[in-house]
Amino acid sequence: MSQAPALVWFRNDLRLEDNPALHAARACGAPVVALYVLDENLSYAPGAASRWWLHHSLKSLSEALEKAGASLVLRRGESAESVKSVIAETGASHVFWNRRYEGPLVDTDKALKAELHEQGVDVATFNGALLREPWEVKTKTGGAYSVFTPFWKALRNLGPARDPLPKIRKIKGADAISSDHLDDWGLLPYAPNWAKEFDGVWKPGEKGAQEQLKRFLTHIIEDYADQRDRPDFESTSRLSPHLAFGEISPVQIWRAIHTGMAAGAIGPNNGEKFLSEIAWREFSYNILFNNLTLVSQPLRQNFKDFPWREDEPAFKAWTRGMTGFPIVDAGMRQLWRTGWMHNRVRMIVASFLLKDLLIDWRKGEAWFRDTLVDADIANNAASWQWVAGSGADAAPYFRIFNPVTQGEKFDPDGDYVRCYVPELADLPKKFIHAPWTAPVSALEKAGITLGKTYPIPIIDHSVARKRALRCYDAIKGG
C-alpha cells in the first residue's frame, strides 16, 4: 500500500529555506503535497499591488518546488474548505503549516486544526514568520509590551527561538492532483497595466530576496544608521515585500547580520540599528496579536471621538500625488509607480493626510494596503496608528511634520522630488520643496505654471497645523 502523503499549506512563507512547516513535512518521510489557496473572501485578502507580487512569487515558488521534486497545487476558494478538499483527494494523513497572527486568520486556523484532529488527521503548526512568538516576549508581570524600547530589550535578550533551517533541495513529491493555472487567477493588472514599472524595480521570489539581502549587506548597510532616513538614494534594505510574503525569514536576517558583525564586516552601529527595525516588525505583530481590531479601531480610547473630516477631493489629491507639496507628491507617486515608498516619506505623507487634512487614518491604511507591494497588516495598521498618535508607543500628537522642512532636511538637493515629480525638475534647489515661494522668473525658466503644470498647495500648512492641534487638544486626556 502506498504511503499517505503529507500536506504543506503555504501561506505567507513562500520559500524553501528556513521553512519549518516544509521541513517537518519532508522529515516525516511521506510524499509531499504542496498547496497554496487563494482565498479572496478572507479578511485582508491581498490588495492590487500585493496580487502582482503574489503572482510572481508563486511562479518562483512553483519552479523551485518543481526543481526539488514536488508540484505546487493551486486552489482558489475558502481556505479551510480548500484544505479539506485536498486532504480528501490525496488521503493526506498529516498537515503542516506556519502560523499566522492576524485576528480572524488565527480563529480560522484554530477551528480547522480542531476539525482535522477530530477526523484523525495530524496537524502540526510552526513559527515561520517571527523571531519569537508574540506570547513569548512578555513583561515581568506576564503582560504584553506597549512600549518599543523595553520590548526590543527583552527580544534582544531572548534572540531568535531557533537557528535557520537549511534549504530543501530534494522533496519526494506526491502523485499529481488537479491544480488551477496561475495565469487564470488574473492577479496581474491589465488594461491598464499600472504595474509596468514594477518589473524593473523588483525581483519577487526567494532568489530575489536572497539577492536583495546580499546587495544590502555588501553595498548599503555600511551607512544604514546614518543614512536610512534619506529617500534620495538607496539607503535601506528594501526587503519589506520579501518579508511580507515570507520569501525570507527574520531568523535568516538575524543570522546574516550577526555573522557579519562577528566577522567585522558589519559595524555594530549599523547592525544593531537594522536589527532594531526588524524588531519594530516583531513589535507590530505583538500589538496586532494582542489587539485584534488594530486595523479598524484606535488603540487609545480617546481617539474614538476624534473629529476626522470627510474630504474626497483632498483625499484624491493625496492619492494621486497632487497636493502641491513636492515631498508628499513625490512619495505618493513613488508608491503608485513602484508599489513602495521610503519609510521617512511614509511618515511625512501619513502626517499630511492625518494632521494637515484631518482625514481618518483608516482611509490611509486602506490605500496603502491596496497599493504597497509590502502591504503587511501588522506593520501597516500599527504604523498608521503610530503616526496618528492613537497607537502603542505612538508619536506624540503634537508632532506635525512640516512638509517643506522635512523635504529640505531629508531630500536636501531635491533629487527625490525631481525623480518622481518631473514637472519640477528644472526648479533650483532652494525652491524645490516650496515652489510657491519661487519668483515668477524662476518658475518661468523652469517651465512651471502653478495651478496648471503643478498644483498650488491644497492647504496652508501653518493654518492646518493650528487646526490639528485644536482637534487633538479637544480629545487630550480622554
Catalytic residues: 277, 280, 308, 343, 361, 384
Listed in sequence order, the residues at least 6 apart from 29 whose beta carbon sits closer than 8 Å to its beta carbon are 3
Residue 71 DSSP symbol: -
Shortest Å distance, C-beta 243 to ligand FAD? 5
Copy the grid coordinates of residue 9.
499549506
* Residue 431 interacts with ligand FAD (CB under 6 A): yes or no: no
Among 284, 334, 338, 385, binds ligand FAD (CB under 6 A): 284
* Residue 371 interacts with ligand FAD (CB under 6 A): yes or no: no
Among 97, 148, 280, 454, binds ligand FAD (CB under 6 A): 280
| Residue 7 · residue 149 · CB < 8 Å | no
Shortest Å distance, C-beta 357 to ligand FAD? 14
CB closer to ligand FAD, 57 vs 90: 57
CB closer to ligand FAD, 18 vs 435: 18
Q: What's the CA gap between 362 and 301, in Å, rounded?
A: 15
* Residue 230 interacts with ligand FAD (CB under 6 A): yes or no: no
Among 343, 429, 436, 469, binds ligand FAD (CB under 6 A): 343
Q: What's the CA gap between 92 and 70, in Å, rounded?
A: 15
Among 87, 105, 243, 404, binds ligand FAD (CB under 6 A): 243
* Residue 278 interacts with ligand FAD (CB under 6 A): yes or no: yes
Shortest Å distance, C-beta 426 to ligand FAD? 29
Copy the grid coordinates of residue 152.
526590543
* Residue 375 interacts with ligand FAD (CB under 6 A): yes or no: yes
CB closer to ligand FAD, 90 vs 390: 390
* Residue 7 interacts with ligand FAD (CB under 6 A): yes or no: no
| Residue 362 · residue 232 · CB < 8 Å | no
If DSSP codes are grouped into helix, strand and coil, which group holds residue 75? strand
- H/E stretch holding 9 reads strand 6-10
| Identity of residue 154 | A
Show the CA angle centred on residue 383, arms to residues 204 and 258, nearest 5°.
60
Shortest Å distance, C-beta 239 to ligand FAD? 4
* Residue 136 interacts with ligand FAD (CB under 6 A): yes or no: no
Copy the grid coordinates of residue 124.
502540526
- Read off φ and ψ for residue 324, nearest 5 degrees: 90, -5
* Residue 360 interacts with ligand FAD (CB under 6 A): yes or no: no
CB closer to ligand FAD, 7 vs 353: 353
* Residue 130 interacts with ligand FAD (CB under 6 A): yes or no: no
* Residue 376 interacts with ligand FAD (CB under 6 A): yes or no: yes
**Residue linked to cell 525569514:** 249
CB closer to ligand FAD, 123 vs 209: 209
* Residue 13 interacts with ligand FAD (CB under 6 A): yes or no: no
CB closer to ligand FAD, 87 vs 378: 378
Task: Please name which of 149, 86, 76 lies closest in space to residue 121, comparing C-alpha atoms.
Answer: 86
Residue 181: Cβ-neighbour burial (10 angstroms; 0-12, 13-18, 19+) = exposed
Among 23, 75, 228, 333, binds ligand FAD (CB under 6 A): 228
Q: What is the DSSP string of 393-435?
A: TPPPTT----HHHHHHHHSTTSHHHHHH-GGGTTS-GGGTT-G
Q: What are the residues binding ligand FAD (CB under 6 A)? A: 228, 236-240, 243-244, 277-278, 280-281, 284, 343, 346-347, 350, 368, 372, 374-376, 379-380, 383-384, 387
